[in-house]
Amino acid sequence: MAELQLAFAQYALYAWLLLLVVALWTLFSISSLRRRLDILTRRYSNVTRGVDSVTLVDAVDQHLDEVRSLAQRVESLASECRLLDEKLELGLRRVGLIRYNPFDDTGGDQSFALALLDDHGDGVVITSIFGRDNSRLYAKPVKGGRSKYSLSTEEEQAISQASLAH
């Protein structure tokens, strides 16, 4: 028995050191796991914030429902945008204006040719000829940048200017 006590005394210091190392490693592991648990808890709180559910699966399902709803809304808005784009093409948004003086005895370029066209080159050209004694106003339809009526040089210039405008 004395030999056992002597052997135990010789290795007791090593045993205590080994136990100390194991205890320190255990404390470090617990501290590391606690930090990871805190991070996961914060992430879980972020995921479930504003959600009426208790479980993570319910929270994810609710978020997915919201994403699907938003995707449908985005598709609806995209459809409305396409419709507005189609309507916008038909708006008279290309304008060409040429002012000129058709007569030598008047000044000020009071006469004009005004072309109002959509994106397809369809619309109207309006011409006003101002004279000392009278004024005249003409309107001619335009289809594809051309008219079935004869056009003056100024009217053609106004259509050309409107076709280039955007």
Number of domains in the chain: 3
* Residues 20 and 79 placed together within one structural domain of the fold: no
* Residues 36 and 21 placed together within one structural domain of the fold: yes
* Residues 104 and 151 placed together within one structural domain of the fold: yes
* Residues 42 and 56 placed together within one structural domain of the fold: no
pLDDT tens digits, residue range 108-138?
788 999 999 998 899 999 999 988 788 899 9
Phi, psi of 103 (to 5 degrees): -125, 145
* Residues 129 and 157 placed together within one structural domain of the fold: yes
* Residues 16 and 67 placed together within one structural domain of the fold: no
**HSE (side-chain half, CA atoms, 13 Å) at 20:** 6
Give CA–CA dist 8/2, Å, rounded: 10
Share of the chain above pLDDT 90, in %: 52
Asked if residues 100 and 109 have their Cβ atoms less than 8 Å apart, the reply is yes
Confidence band (pLDDT; 50, 70, 90) for 1?
A: low
Which domain, by its residues, includes 18?
A: 1-49
Give CA–CA dist 144/146, Å, rounded: 6
Phi, psi of 117 (to 5 degrees): -125, 155
